[in-house]
Chains A and B, each alone.
Chain A
Amino acid sequence: MESTDDILSSLIVELKRGTLILSVLSQLFSPEYGYSLVQKLEEKNNPIDAGTLYPLLRRLEKQHLLVSNWDTSEARPRKFYVISEEGKRVFQCLKEEWRTLSDKLENLLEEERNHGDN
């Protein structure tokens, strides 16, 4: 039997999955490398697993939403990612979509609350 906690945490993972891409794209208008992005998101209270983020960056690059570049000028070479023109367009559309979605969902949740109050 799965415990309630397990079910809850897997549901939370599912809930977050769709928003990950939105948060990652929003932070890449200036170039970042993997770990700097982890930190940046953490500082902004949007922590993301390093193990989830690194492959995600590569996938987004493969879909041409990000562009990458190895910076070898410093002692430690790092791969920087930045949003592409296509990525910017996709990001705007996703943002719109997210806003309508959360508005609609808010309505549903509000409805439930009123119901509970009665």
Chain B
Amino acid sequence: MEIIDRYIYAVTQSLPENIREDVSEELRSNIQDMLPEDASEEHIKKVLEELGNPAKLAVEYNPEKRYLIGPGLYNRYITLLKLITGIAALAMGGVALLTWLLEPGNGESLTNLIKDVISAVLDGAMQGAFWVTLIFIILERSGVQEGHSPFAKKKWTVEELPDIKDYGKKKISRASTIVEILFTIIVTVVLVFRPSIIGVSLNGSPFVPMLNADRLNTYIIGIVLLGLICLGILVWKTIYPYWSIPLAAANAGCNIAICILMLFMVRDRQMVNSEFLTILEGLTNMTLSQVTLLWQKFLWLFAAGFIVIAICDSMAGVFKCKR
């Protein structure tokens, strides 16, 4: 009898918890029905062999999807995996190189630089692979290829077939998407891992970071989240490279969220590294409070410019999907 228990265990251990008990009871009663009274070891073996490999039986029993990324998305997944892994590796490697150039003392020797760059490249590749896979798992499970977009889970119709000859202005160029991916990754990585390389060296003064890294940390979740959402939208753009209403809406939503986060950061006076302001004070004839005020004005101007660009980008998306 022990061999039956082992067989049932082998079948049910990989099943979801809520059906495990029921399946094992049912299977046990079925197996016992297949056996004669006072079954010998031989009989039991024969019956179990008839039922076949428990792993195979478990697959038959399991109602859940048994794969992470199905055939519907697989080709696009591989294409994007290569693309984004490559870009992320390049971006992280670039950031490591930049860190070394801007922050002497961090790793004086060339060996250190090579070590840093290689580990950053590997890290970038791993991160890229992880996030792309995660995004595709979500796409797979939300049933994107059944409906056309994650937001409209309706039945597919012929109207949705993209017009090959007349993509026209709706078509999103692959090159611009790749540039955007690169940019998104670099900005996110720098803000999250290396905020200290955003800085200046004025009139031969030592290099001073502009941002207060500790304060920046309070915004980290927002930055990471928005970076991922942007990346998700970019992945979507690569899969369906033409403007559509849901895409334009997502793009606009993402832009708005970025602007809001940026406004919070600009408003936050502690975001500016005080050392940086002191250096500015030293270079001008103004007092510290005047410099601070001036710097705040500059930041607001920067924010305004940023918002204008975001609005233009959002509008462009909306208009392009109408053509």
Contacts and interface: CB of A to CB of B under 8 A. Distances in A.
A54 B27 contact: yes
A35 B23 CA distance: 15
A51 B29 contact: no
- Give chain B's interface secondary structure class: helix
B60 A52 contact: yes
A31 B295 CA distance: 82
Interface stretch (A7-15, A55-63, A83-91): A55-63
B25 A77 contact: yes
Given A50-B34, A55-B60, A33 B29 contact: yes
A51 B33 contact: no
Contact of A34 (B26, B50, B63): B26
B25 A51 contact: no
Interface string B141-180: 0000000000000000000000000000000000000000
Nearest to B56: A51
B32 A76 contact: yes
A56 B27 CA distance: 13
Contacts of B19: 58
B239 interface: no
Interface residues of A, number: 19
- Give chain A's interface secondary structure class: helix
A36 interface: yes
B59 to A, nearest CB: 9
A56 B61 CA distance: 8
B54 to A, nearest CB: 9
Interface in B36-74: 50-52, 56-57, 60-61, 63
B30 interface: yes
B56 A76 contact: no
B61 A34 contact: no
Contacts of A58: 19, 23, 26, 61
Interface of B: 19, 23, 25-27, 29-30, 32-34, 50-52, 56-57, 60-61, 63
